[in-house]
């Protein structure tokens, strides 16, 4: 059973607009969440994270929002750029904090 779910396999956005990637989780014990970006033929790279004690974290064009009551988080990219086209993975820590539980990913395509 998927504990971290990314229900949209793909998302297409125009350059300059906002991209919103969504993620839901089922385990209320998760307390740290991360987003990774992956280009073809490369390993995932860390993008941004958020602790459960916060509801928002910003880093430049990237903002992650956490709604603990809904067990939902989202990644906002503003403005979107063609170089943002990649697969985005949402992840959460396991209780020991030594493993990442990933969603299946959302492929973002930003067109110019």
Name the site residues for other proteins (rule: CB under 8 A): 32, 34, 36, 41-46, 89, 91, 93-94, 96-105
Q: How far is the CB of 45 from other proteins (least distance, A)?
A: 7
Complex with other proteins: residue 29 or 78, whichever CB lies closer: 29
Complex with other proteins: residue 32 or 65, whichever CB lies closer: 32
Phi, psi of 97 (to 5 degrees): 75, 15
Calculated CA dihedral for residues 50, 55, 30, 19, nearest 10 degrees: -60
Kindly report each contact of residues 67-70 with a partner whose C-beta sits within 8 Å and lies 24 or more positions away, as own/partner: 70/24
Q: How far is the CB of 95 from other proteins (least distance, A)?
A: 10
Q: How far is the CB of 34 from other proteins (least distance, A)?
A: 7
Phi, psi of 84 (to 5 degrees): -80, -10
Q: How far is the CB of 112 from other proteins (least distance, A)?
A: 27
Complex with other proteins: residue 25 or 89, whichever CB lies closer: 89
Complex with other proteins: residue 25 or 36, whichever CB lies closer: 36
CB 22 within 8 A of CB 74: yes
Task: Look at strands 106-111 and 10-14 and give their pairing.
Answer: parallel
């Amino acid at each position: 059973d998927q504990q971290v779910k990314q229900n949209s396999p793909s998302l297409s956005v125009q350059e300059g607009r906002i991209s919103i990637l969504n993620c839901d989780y089922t385990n209320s014990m998760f307390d740290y969440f991360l987003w990774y970006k992956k280009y073809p033929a490369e390993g995932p790279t860390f993008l941004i994270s958020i602790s459960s004690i916060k509801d928002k974290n910003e880093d430049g064009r990237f903002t992650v929002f956490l709604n603990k009551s809904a067990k939902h988080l989202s990644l906002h990219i503003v403005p979107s750029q063609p170089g943002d086209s990649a697969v985005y993975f949402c992840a959460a820590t396991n209780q020991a904090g030594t493993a990442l539980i990933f969603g299946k990913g959302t492929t973002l395509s930003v067109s110019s």
